[in-house]
Chains A and B, each alone.
Chain A
Amino acid sequence: MSGAALLVLADGRFPAGGHAHSGGAEEAVKAGRITDAASLEAFCRGRLHTAGLVAAALAAAAAAAPTPSNSDAAADAPDALPRRCGWPPRRLGRQLMRAARATWPDAELDSLAREFPKGAHQPVVLGLTARAAGLGAADAAYCAAYESVSGSASAVVRLLSLDPFEATAVLARVAPEVDRVVDRAVVAGLRVPGEGAGVLPSASAPLLEIGAEAHAGWGVRLFAS
C-alpha cells in the first residue's frame, strides 16, 4: 500500500472521463429499480460483486505482471468478462490512458497506448496506471472495485436528487464488501502470471448488460452509460 498516490488515482475528480457515466444507474432509475437509498444500495451491491469483481481482478492482474495484450484479450473473451457491465470499457480505457500518461509518465503505458490506439480495456489500463504510480495489485483492485459503485452513487444523486449524505452513507455501508471483493480479486489476479487468464472470475450481470444495450439506444439521456 502506498498512501497518497492511491488517493490521487482513486479520487473521483481524477480526470479520466468517469463523470459522464452512471454505470447502468440511469437505466435502472428509469426502469424503477432504483428509487431511494435502499435500492441504490442493492444496485451497488450487485454491481460490486459482478462487474466490480471482474474489473478488480483484471486490474490486479495487470498491476501485478503486465502482459497487457493477454489481459486485454482476456477481458474481451465473452466467457471471461461481461463486456458491457454498464461502462463502455474501451472508451473509458482510452480516456484513463490519456490522464494516466500525463500524470505518471511511463514506458509500459506508452507501449499499451501504441498497441491499442482506440483504447484498451479500462481495468487493464487501470492496473498499468497503478504500476506507473508505484502502487500494487491490491491498490489497483481497490480503485476498480470502489469505482464500480461510487460512480453509480454520484450519478443517482443527480438523477433522483437523492440526498448526497444518504448516497455517501450507502458507499460506507458497502465498503466492507468492497474489502472482501478486493481480497478475492487480488488472489485471482496474482494467479494469472502462473496459470493464465482463465483463473479470473467471470461473474456476470445480465440485467446490467441488457440495460446497457437499451440505454445506448435512448434518444434522450443524461449519462453516456
Chain B
Amino acid sequence: MHLDHSPHGPSAVSADARRADGARRALRVGLGGPVGSGKTATVAALCRALRDEFSLAVVTNDIYTREDAEFLLREAVLPPERITAVETGACPHTAIRDDISANLEAVEDLEDEVGPLDLVLVESGGDNLTATFSKGLVDAQIFVIDVAGGDDIPRKGGPGVTTADLLVVNKTDLAPYVGSDLARMAADAKAQRAELPVVFQSLRSEDGVREVAVWVREQLAAWTA
C-alpha cells in the first residue's frame, strides 16, 4: 500500500502518483456518459489501437450485469486477467464519485497482479448527465454522448458535458437517420466547454477511434514526462 512509505502520512491514499515500490503508477482515464452512448465500444477500440504500444488494463462498472466486461472478453481486446468488473449497488455514479473504494481496489489489484501498467481505462456504468469521476480515482475523464440521444445534449450541459477533459460525440454515422444537426452540437459544445477539446467520431468507420487515441497518447506523454 502506498502509505507505508509515505513520509507525510496518508494525504494521498488514492491519488498518489507513485506506488509503494516507488514506481510511477499507471495513468487512469475514466469514460462516463449516458447508457448506450458507446463507452464500451470506445474502450474496445482504444485497447485495439494502443495495446501494442502500452501495457493496458480495464475496469468496468456495470449496473447489474457483467455485460461490459463480458463483451470485452468476448472481443478479446485484452487478455482476461487485464479486465475487472466492479459492482456498483444500483448506483453507478456513487462508485465513481462519492465512494470510489471498490474501483480503487480494482485498479490497484490489476497493477499488483498484471503490472506494471501504463494505462488503466475505467468505464462507468451508463448514467445521467451529472455523473463525473472523482479526481481521487482518475487522472483524466472522457464523457461519451451520441448523436442519437438528441442533438440538444451539448446545449443542456451538466458536469459531464461541461467539465470532462474530453467530450466525445459518438455515432456520427447515425446523424442523417436521426435528424441530428452536428454543426449545432459542435457550436453548443464549444459554448459549454470553451477551450476543452471535443471529438466527433463514428466507430463504424475505419480507425474511427483515431482522434481519441491521439488524445490518450498525449495524456500518457504528459503523465510520464
**A contact set with B: CB distance below 8 Å:** 13, 15-22, 91, 94-95, 98-99, 101-102, 105, 110, 113-114, 117, 155, 158-159, 219-224
B65 near A219: Cβ-Cβ < 8 Å: yes
* A119 to B, closest residue via Cβ: B105
Is B207 in contact with chain A by the CB < 8 A criterion?
A: no
Is B213 in contact with chain A by the CB < 8 A criterion?
A: no
A20 near B87: Cβ-Cβ < 8 Å: yes
- For A220, the chain B residues whose CB sits under 8 A away are 64-65
Is B9 in contact with chain A by the CB < 8 A criterion?
A: yes
- For B90, the chain A residues whose CB sits under 8 A away are 155, 158-159, 222-223
A101 near B13: Cβ-Cβ < 8 Å: yes
B100 near A15: Cβ-Cβ < 8 Å: yes
- For A20, the chain B residues whose CB sits under 8 A away are 87-89, 91, 94-95, 102
- For B63, the chain A residues whose CB sits under 8 A away are 222
Alpha-carbon distance A18/B94, docked complex (angstroms): 11
Alpha-carbon distance A99/B14, docked complex (angstroms): 10
B99 near A17: Cβ-Cβ < 8 Å: yes
A110 near B3: Cβ-Cβ < 8 Å: yes
Name the interface residues of B71-99: CB closer than 8 Å to any CB of A. 87-91, 94-95, 98-99
- For B4, the chain A residues whose CB sits under 8 A away are 110, 113-114
Alpha-carbon distance A199/B27, docked complex (angstroms): 48
CB distance from B15 to the nearest CB of A (A): 10
Name the interface residues of B26-81: CB closer than 8 Å to any CB of A. 63-66
Is B1 in contact with chain A by the CB < 8 A criterion?
A: yes
30 contacts between A and B (CB under 8 A): A13-B99, A15-B100, A15-B101, A16-B99, A16-B101, A17-B102, A19-B89, A19-B98, A20-B88, A20-B102, A21-B89, A95-B101, A95-B102, A95-B105, A98-B13, A98-B14, A98-B104, A101-B3, A102-B11, A102-B14, A105-B9, A110-B4, A113-B1, A155-B89, A158-B90, A158-B91, A219-B66, A220-B65, A222-B64, A224-B89
Instruction: List 5 tightest A-B contacts by C-beta distance, closest first.
Output: A20-B89, A224-B87, A95-B101, A15-B99, A17-B101
Is B10 in contact with chain A by the CB < 8 A criterion?
A: yes
Alpha-carbon distance A213/B3, docked complex (angstroms): 34
CB distance from A102 to the nearest CB of B (A): 4
- For B102, the chain A residues whose CB sits under 8 A away are 17, 20, 95, 224
CB distance from A160 to the nearest CB of B (A): 12
B65 near A223: Cβ-Cβ < 8 Å: no
Alpha-carbon distance A18/B99, docked complex (angstroms): 9
CB distance from B57 to the nearest CB of A (A): 18
A98 near B101: Cβ-Cβ < 8 Å: yes
- For A99, the chain B residues whose CB sits under 8 A away are 101
Alpha-carbon distance A110/B3, docked complex (angstroms): 8
CB distance from A17 to the nearest CB of B (A): 4
CB distance from A140 to the nearest CB of B (A): 19
Alpha-carbon distance A31/B64, docked complex (angstroms): 18
- For A22, the chain B residues whose CB sits under 8 A away are 89
- For B104, the chain A residues whose CB sits under 8 A away are 98
CB distance from A58 to the nearest CB of B (A): 21
Alpha-carbon distance A221/B90, docked complex (angstroms): 9
CB distance from A14 to the nearest CB of B (A): 8
Alpha-carbon distance A167/B104, docked complex (angstroms): 31
A102 near B13: Cβ-Cβ < 8 Å: yes
